[in-house]
């Protein structure tokens, strides 16, 4: 199942800005799903402003109803859906509860058939359930607390406010994290259980000694490392990152250190050879993905070396989280 984040709040509370930054922090090329239909000049201007606020790394998909049809483009991405209110509006239009004006001078036509609103809510909830059944996506939904505003005049408008509240509850129940924005400030309403909260009794003192002794013994074994080079792992507490630097062991016929393509690596003033590649990650998993999956020139061929690095990345993450001193084996 997908990871789901719900960002809610009033008008101009900072919802979209928070959701956008959240996606950018966890994904290099996030996806923006625009659920809005352009029905007047003001809406067109609002959309243009949002597009301008997003950088070129964003991919924009315009979809009004069946968002799940874009599953292939969502795979492996952080997907910002902006917003649930307009998405629900589209289902109201589809079921005939509303009719949008054809010109700027016309008003919205509102139906008196409340069954249309019930059917619209049912369909949008079904589509949401289908959408978040995709397992390899993080969805960030933006919504509005319109029930906190002025009491609507028309029956169908009141029905829309009710349906929006019920849709928000439906999404919130499924969400891993719910954020309420007030005056640009995020307030966590719901968040996952911390992974470092103990669920079982800790190891007793004797078992801890046994573990430490075993690790110390295994650290003295000989390992066949890569002939092309080696990694130095460290923790940079100034930027809150785990760092991994790859240094080359490749020498040319003159004894000069070369990179993986055979180019000579110049030394600095202190005759120190710089790393061929430097990686910085917030977690062991992020760092492992950078090194093993996203680096096309990764020279690691030994499973022993790969598993060693994985353990070091995990040790470094624990040191970063808990403030421990990190030393590479």
Q: What is the pLDDT of residues 3-21, one digit of tens each?
A: 999 999 998 899 999 999 9
What span, in angstroms and rounded, lies between the C-alpha atoms of 8 and 26?
A: 20
Compute the radius of gyration of the chain from its Cα atoms: 27
Instruction: Tell me the C-alpha distance between 109 and 259, whole Å.
Output: 68
DSSP structural state of residue 182: E
| Separation CA 137–CA 93 (nearest Å) | 28
* Model pLDDT, residue 268: 59
In the chain, domain spans = 3-190, 205-322
pLDDT, position 267: 64
Q: In this model, does residue 254 exceed pLDDT 90?
A: no
H-type alpha helices, the chain: 15-26, 41-53, 71-74, 84-94, 114-131, 155-174, 205-218, 284-288, 303-322
Q: Residues 50, 151, 154, 240: which is the catalytic one?
A: 50
Tell which residue, 221, 107, 191, 222, has the closest CA to residue 157. Answer: 107
Model pLDDT for residues 41-92, shown as the tens digit of each residue = 676 676 677 667 777 899 999 999 999 999 999 999 999 999 899 999 999 9
φ, ψ for residue 308, nearest 5 deg: -60, -45
At 15 the three-state DSSP class reads helix
pLDDT digits 0-9 by tens, 178-217: 999 999 999 999 998 776 667 778 888 899 889 888 888 8
Confidence check: pLDDT of 22 > 70: yes
pTM of the predicted model, to two decimals?
A: 0.75
Architecture of domain 3-190: 3-Layer(aba) Sandwich (3.40)
Residue of 97, 124, 102, 105 whose CA lies nearest to 37 = 102
- Any catalytic annotation for residue 305? no
pLDDT at residue 39 in the model: 63
């Amino acid at each position: 199942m997908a990871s789901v984040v719900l960002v809610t709040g009033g008008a101009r509370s900072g919802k979209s800005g928070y959701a956008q930054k959240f996606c950018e922090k966890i994904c290099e090329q996030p996806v923006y799903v625009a659920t809005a239909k352009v029905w007047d000049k003001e809406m067109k201007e609002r959309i243009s402003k949002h597009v301008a606020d997003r950088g070129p790394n964003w991919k924009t998909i315009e979809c009004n109803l069946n968002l799940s049809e874009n599953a292939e483009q969502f795979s492996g991405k952080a997907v910002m859906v902006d917003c649930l209110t307009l998405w629900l509006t589209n289902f109201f239009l589809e079921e005939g509860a509303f009719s949008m004006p054809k010109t700027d001078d016309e008003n919205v036509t509102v139906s008196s058939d409340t069954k249309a609103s019930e059917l619209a809510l049912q369909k949008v909830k079904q589509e949401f359930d289908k959408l978040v059944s995709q397992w390899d996506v993080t969805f960030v939904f933006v919504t509005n607390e319109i029930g906190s505003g002025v009491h609507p005049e028309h029956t169908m408008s009141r029905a829309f406010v009710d349906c929006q509240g019920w849709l928000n509850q439906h999404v919130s129940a499924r969400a891993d994290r719910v954020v309420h924005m007030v005056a640009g400030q995020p307030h966590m309403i719901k968040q996952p259980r911390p992974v470092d909260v103990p669920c079982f009794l800790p190891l007793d003192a004797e078992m801890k000694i046994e573990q430490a002794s075993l690790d110390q013994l295994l650290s003295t074994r000989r390992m066949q490392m890569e002939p092309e080079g080696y990694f130095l792992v460290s923790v940079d507490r100034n930027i809150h990152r785990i760092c991994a630097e790859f240094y080359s062991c490749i020498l040319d016929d003159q004894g000069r250190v070369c990179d993986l393509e055979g180019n000579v690596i110049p030394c600095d003033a202190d005759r120190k050879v710089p790393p061929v590649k430097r990686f910085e990650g917030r977690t062991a998993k992020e760092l492992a993905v950078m090194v093993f999956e996203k680096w096309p020139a990764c020279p690691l061929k030994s499973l022993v070396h790969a598993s060693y690095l994985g353990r070091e990345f995990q040790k470094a993450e624990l040191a970063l989280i808990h403030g421990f001193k990190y030393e590479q084996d």
